[in-house]
Every structure is written in C-alpha cells, then in structure tokens.
Amino acid sequence: PPRRRQLCFTHMIKGPPRIQNIDQFKNELLKGAVMEGKRLGEYYKNNSEKAIEAMTYSFADYADIIKGNDMIDTIPFKDIKRKLEQVLEQEEKSNNVLNTAEQWWKKNRKHLWNAMLCGYKKTGYMPDAYVHLCIVPDTDETPQFLRW
C-alpha cells in the first residue's frame, strides 16, 4: 500500500552504520516511530479518527517488517530485519540470551506504539479525550493480506 512508502526508517536505512547493539536498534526504531506519529498527525490534522486508524496500520506494518512477515520484500526493509538479526545474534553471544525477531517485537511493541502516540501528541492535534489510546492495538496480529 502507498502508506508504506512513507514509513519512517530513514535513520536506519540511510544513516551511518551506527547500530552496534540492540539498544541502538531500538532507539533508532523509536525515533522513526515518533516521526511516523507526527507525520500522520500533521497529515490528518482535522480528522483524529483517520490519524489513529493510519497509525494502527503503520504500527502493524512495522511489526511485519520487524518479524519478517512482510509480503513486500524490498531491500531497505530486508536490511532492517537483517540489522535486527545481527544485533540479536550479538546479544546472544555476549549475554547468552536467545531472542528471535518475533520475541523482540512482542517485548517492545508497546514502546513503539507509545512512541507513535508521542509523535502524534507533539503535533498538538491529538484530542485530550484520546487517553484510551495507551492500550496497544492488536492490528499487528492480523495477517498482512487482510489489512490491504
């Protein structure tokens, strides 16, 4: 879908190869999620329901890319998955902790959603009544082909 062309992975794809560990990977991913929430909030500034709907779909797209379930295997998205696998492998070697990309996603999905909300809130367009949004959506569990 066209929305995926705008997913904020710029720091991870075009930036210097500075991702050396799992914390740096997470930090870069969260920076992108903040920008994604901000971008969608500004785009849908007069329609908060559309903004939230778009954010839930972007959230699920992030999940597919991270977990490796993405139906569109573009080189940049493959690179993100590869970087995650590399840092998870390093983590396993140094800490004797085995994590898959899917396990990492389950552990960190709430942080990504909250980062997106933070970006949306920064626009000033997020209504105060949207406190219920702190509940992480489950759209990332819906198979990708059903969301298109």
Domain boundaries, the chain: 2-147
- Decide: helix, strand or coil at residue 76: helix
Quote the pTM value.
0.80
**Residue 146's pLDDT is what?**
59
Rounded Cα distance between 101 and 109, Å, is 11
Find the DSSP H helices in 1-148: 10-13, 22-43, 48-67, 75-95, 101-122, 144-147
Mean pLDDT across the chain, nearest whole number? 80
pLDDT by position in tens, the chain (length 148)? 455 556 666 666 666 567 888 888 898 889 989 999 999 999 999 898 999 999 998 998 888 888 887 666 665 667 777 888 888 888 888 777 778 888 999 999 999 999 999 999 888 887 776 666 666 776 776 666 555 5
Tally of CA atoms within 13 A in the half-sphere of 63 that contains its CB: 26
Predicted confidence at residue 1, as pLDDT, reads 42
Q: What is the pLDDT of residue 39?
A: 92
Q: Look at the domain 2-147 and name its fold.
A: 5 helical Cullin repeat like (1.20.1310)
For residue 144, the Cα-to-chain-centroid distance in whole angstroms is 15
Taking Cα atoms as reference points, which of 140, 17, 26 lies closest to residue 88?
26
